[in-house]
Structure 1
Amino acid sequence: MNIKLLNKKSEVTISELLVFGVFEDFRNLDVLSNEISEYLSVLKEQEKFKASFGEEISAVIKYENVYKNVLIIGLGKSEELKSEKLRKLIAKIVRKANELKLSSAELNLINTSELVSKETLEVIAETAILTNYKFDKYKEKKSQITLNELNLVIGDIEKIANYSSALAEAEALALGTILARDLVNEPANVLNPKELAKRASEAGEKNGFEVEILKEDKIEELGMEAYLSVAKGSENKPRFIIMRYLGDPDNKEKIFGLVGKGLTFDTGGYSLKPTAGMVTMKSDMGGAAAVIGAMASIAKMKLKANVTAVVAACENMISANSYRPGDIIGSMAGKTIEVLNTDAEGRLTLADAVHYIISKERVNKVIDLATLTGAALVALGTTTTAVVSNSDEFYNDLQIASNPADEKVWRLPAFDEYKELIKSDIADLKNIGGPNAGTITAGLFIGEFAKDIPWIHMDIAGTAWSENEHDYITKGGTGVGVRTLYNMIKNNTK
């Protein structure tokens, strides 16, 4: 989608849909054209429009001697219009334009100066692009997406120069999120570990970060027994994906680490999932998708930071070679693990990936993202990502980074008593902690391999996939995490 900032106040517009937002107090109508100002005044006088949040009126009226499609949308109270609410309104506008099969729209912000800032314009542009997203490559009849141009009229030529960079960043973030959505939405018979590695390499080549792919022999040389135990049941061999972005060469020792769970399909292994629980398991690489998308956005915007991301990509399948409940396996860190459930596989791959990125890539901080536990959905539903961390300061940074992305996070406790639940009688650790506190114990299992550096675990099991289309979220992969991770890295450069 082409998005522009415009200074137009009264010229005849070429956009097919004109959009005007109005606060409940109907402020600043006099700065609009006579036709629109009079039209809104009549609506108010006749109490046909109260400008409550989300209220809309669509009409065809004469504007500058040309009949135009006009959408009037209620903004509610100005003090209550936070960024998430604004996202909902922008999604409504984009969907309306597509419903009317229009190719261009113009959002007039002259009477709503509260909405003209670098941050707000970025929210508008980012949301418009994300709302237009559809994954229909395998459908004969494609979705009717007609809107390809959005003009934002801000009425101040100086602000256009100051805020144009917001549009570039918005596009980079939206495209990184769309990359993640595409990866999650691909079926597992297309996106196996080899193909995921290929897509990561393509993203690196396109956006400017280095990608190294390790095959099974190299993974084995590194001693990643936990990871390989999960992978060995599949005919599709694992790929260990390493992505490196050097944006701050003067501080090479300062490296931010990202780790994404990369199960391109998860049957549950011998602890077999029911069919209903297996249908969406192509999405079990949502963490990998997020870190690949984040790396694309980070490199595209040339952030002054050094970032390394890794993905231990594999499938969890059943065969004569598969690992079994009751097995004791090793790990790259040297810790032994008692396997009590082969469907608790993601934490095994992450254990080796986290140890690798700390010990071999020498990162100073690390965040892992994973569609890890059903318990995260039970605790927090589909709106909030569960977080476990060993650092108050690092978690606070995450919370700050998540706010402009409108990606909700919630920290769970990590008391020592919970660590007792993953101790094994016959090995160093066991891969499940029992029926209680499942999200916490899964996170703390990974934390055992984080050594003493600042570490965050994000369980995106509830937020990486949507069963329904709503606002700027389409059904399927959401791309959650991309924008929060980008903000973490960006804030880390300050």
Structure 2
Amino acid sequence: MDIKFNNAPKATSFVVLTNDKLQILNYDTDITKQYPVLSKYLEFSSSFKGKEGEIEVVSHMHKEKLVFILLAGLGEMEKISNLTFQKAGHTISSHIKKLKLQAVQLSARMDIVNINKDVWVANCAYGIMSGQYCFEKYKSEKESINTCLYLDGIEDTTPLDHLKAINNGTVFAKDCVHTPPNDLYPKLYAAKVQQEFKGLENVKISVLSENSMKKLGMNALLGVGQGSGHESILLTVQYKGTDNPKDAPVAFVGKGVTFDTGGISIKPAHNMHKMKYDMAGSAAVLGAIKSLATRKAKVHAVGVVGLVENMPGHNAQRPGDIVKTMSSKTVEILNTDAEGRLVLADALWYTQSKFSPKIMIDLATLTGAVIVSLGSTYAGCFGNDTTIIKQLEEAGEQTEQKVWHMPLHKDYDDLMKSTVADIANISETRPGAAGAATAAQFLQHFVGETKWAHLDIAGVALESGAVNAKGYGVALLDKLVELFYEDTNNQPVKKTVEKKSKVKIKEQEKK
């Protein structure tokens, strides 16, 4: 989607926002004089009430050209927030796609409630941009069109630039999740990341090969990928947006199983094609780092992702094998389909020992048990530090990427006792019991003294009941950094556009 900061050509379709009293919020009364059909529709329509989420398309012939008025409701004035505008934008976007509109105008003539017009326009535009996403790389005939969004009345582009960066990071994450596994095995994934980050300032990318990981003793991660013909990789993307060389980073760690057959403990054939999505945690991490780097966030952040393919080859890891992790703790493999925690065990230990981060957060499509617990509304959130968990909860509420605090307890260690190793990778005595919690408890053994949280995103990585990636985690992590870890004393200079003549604001009352 292209964005331009000026008036759209004449007879361009445009957006009108109202509250539940049918007051027009983004235009003065002149818009109803120019388009009388709009005034009549608001007066006589029985279907549109201006409630949050409502949208109507009003068509009108204007000077022999068909114009569509996208009439969107925001609901009660006192409940309008940034998320209200994002959701309205997303709904508007779906109608833009249905109508195949090549140009749409969104005008901002006033603040709405207490939200500055540059901020609410940015959030509405962000919703429209995110709703335009369509993965068509492998289709011979493309269905989407490139719509131009004209933003009229915006003065400071800083809020929009921030949200555009998040959208770019989210699009990258979604693209990675949707890419088929024959085009995204670890080596190709790493190459894709290097290409995507090319040109971004203060970014350093490093790749650990299997030989390098062997020297570090990362046998848990390596064991998962040893049945595949594709080499496993540990990829690190470091972004330094602060001037202090001693500033400890915030660290994000992602599970990147590019395809998960389950290994020797093979999965059922039904829906196995969806196991290309088992790298969604790594995509979220990389998308978040891209967002931070794109908007030049004043933070030191590092993303570490373990990239493997879990296949039942002749050299595949077996149930009953024992591996020695980078931490020196030994793990008995009871089920090769509990592989994500093995990848993360070494990735987490590597991250905390190499970077000594302020905090460390991992994201993984780790268990089906978390879907049973929380469905597709919340990610399961576990951790050893209540402050981080509260911060994630706040960031989640502000981005609609919600988390729910789940328990860790030493009693869960009893479920993973092994008679031949330090720990087993699943419970043998009570299979399936507290599945999400025991997986998180397992990970806690590999974080050292670092403040840490684990997000099990198995239920929220995809749209509910669909196979479309959400890009969950990108906006969440960006908001976490913005609220709690960014240097607010050294922010970028505001970017402005040429100011237009101010419009006198008049409240449009329903007649």
Task: Provide TM-score, normalisation by structure 1.
Answer: 0.91
Q: 1:65 to 1:79 in 2, by over 3 A?
A: farther
2:85 paired residue number: 86
2:139 paired residue number: 139
Report the Cα offset of residue 361 of structure 1: 2.4
Code of the residue aligned with 1:126 in structure 2: it is Y
Report the Cα offset of residue 83 of structure 1: 4.1
Q: Could you tell me how far apart the structure 2 residues matched to 1:52 and 1:205 are?
A: 44
Q: Could you tell me how far apart the structure 2 residues matched to 1:445 and 1:98 are?
A: 45
Code of the residue aligned with 1:23 in structure 2: it is N
Report the Cα offset of residue 41 of structure 1: 4.0
Q: Could you tell me how far apart the structure 2 residues matched to 1:405 and 1:192 are?
A: 31
1:236 paired residue number: 230
1:414 paired residue number: 408
Query: Retained in 2: the 8 A contact 1:216–1:237?
Result: yes
Residue 213 in structure 1 maps to residue 207 in structure 2: yes
Report the Cα offset of residue 125 of structure 1: 2.3
Describe the superposition over 1:182-221 as per-residue Cα deviations: whole angstroms up to 9, x where unpaired: 0010111110000111112112323231111111111101
Q: Could you tell me how far apart the structure 2 residues matched to 1:264 and 1:255 are?
A: 27
Runs of 4+ deviating beyond 6 Å = none
2:120 paired residue number: 120
The correspondence for 2:452, drawn from 455, 459, 462, is 455
Code of the residue aligned with 1:480 in structure 2: it is Y
Describe the superposition over 1:384-424 as per-residue Cα deviations: whole angstroms up to 9, x where unpaired: 11111100011111122223321011110112222332232
1:46 paired residue number: 44
Q: 1:51 to 1:490 in 2, by over 3 A?
A: closer
Q: 1:95 to 1:335 in 2, by over 3 A?
A: same
Residue 482 in structure 1 maps to residue 460 in structure 2: no
Query: Retained in 2: the 8 A contact 1:3–1:125?
Result: no
Q: Secondary structure at the match of 1:271?
A: coil
Report the Cα offset of residue 124 of structure 1: 1.6
Q: How does 1:46-85 map to 2 (within 5 A)?
A: 46-48=44-46, 49-61=48-60, 68-85=67-84
Code of the residue aligned with 2:457 in structure 1: it is I
Report the Cα offset of residue 50 of structure 1: 2.7
Q: Could you tell me how far apart the structure 2 residues matched to 1:79 and 1:32 are?
A: 25
Code of the residue aligned with 1:174 in structure 2: it is N
- C-alpha RMSD of the superposition: 2.3
Indicate the larger mover: 93-102 or 304-313. 93-102
The correspondence for 1:378, drawn from 364, 372, 381, is 372
Residue 365 in structure 1 maps to residue 359 in structure 2: yes
Q: Secondary structure at the match of 1:489?
A: helix
2:168 paired residue number: 175
Q: Secondary structure at the match of 1:113?
A: coil
Indicate the larger mover: 360-369 or 110-119. 110-119
Indicate the larger mover: 123-132 or 216-225. 123-132
Q: Secondary structure at the match of 2:96?
A: helix
1:98 paired residue number: 97
Code of the residue aligned with 1:94 in structure 2: it is S
2:390 paired residue number: 396
Q: Secondary structure at the match of 1:388?
A: strand
Q: Secondary structure at the match of 1:280?
A: helix
* Number of residues of Structure 1 aligned to a counterpart in Structure 2: 478
Specify which structure has the higher proportion of helix: 1
Residue 21 in structure 1 maps to residue 17 in structure 2: yes
Query: Retained in 1: the 8 A contact 2:32–2:38?
Result: no
Q: Could you tell me how far apart the structure 2 residues matched to 1:15 and 1:372 are?
A: 51
Q: 1:121 to 1:444 in 2, by over 3 A?
A: farther
1:157 paired residue number: none
Task: Provide TM-score, normalisation by structure 2.
Answer: 0.88
Q: Could you tell me how far apart the structure 2 residues matched to 1:359 and 1:268 are?
A: 29
Indicate the larger mover: 348-357 or 23-32. 23-32
2:33 paired residue number: 35
Indicate the larger mover: 404-413 or 65-74. 65-74
Q: How does 1:246-261 map to 2 (within 5 A)?
A: 246-261=240-255
Q: Could you tell me how far apart the structure 1 residues matched to 2:353 and 2:43 are?
A: 69
Query: Retained in 1: the 8 A contact 2:360–2:452?
Result: yes
1:279 paired residue number: 273
Gaps of 5+ in 1: 155-159, 470-474
Gaps of 5+ in 2: 488-511
Q: Could you tell me how far apart the structure 2 residues matched to 1:430 and 1:346 are?
A: 14
Residue 200 in structure 1 maps to residue 198 in structure 2: no
Code of the residue aligned with 1:68 in structure 2: it is V
Report the Cα offset of residue 51 of structure 1: 2.3
Q: Could you tell me how far apart the structure 2 residues matched to 1:301 and 1:53 are?
A: 30
Q: 1:25 to 1:241 in 2, by over 3 A?
A: same
Report the Cα offset of residue 177 of structure 1: 0.3
Q: Percent identity?
A: 34
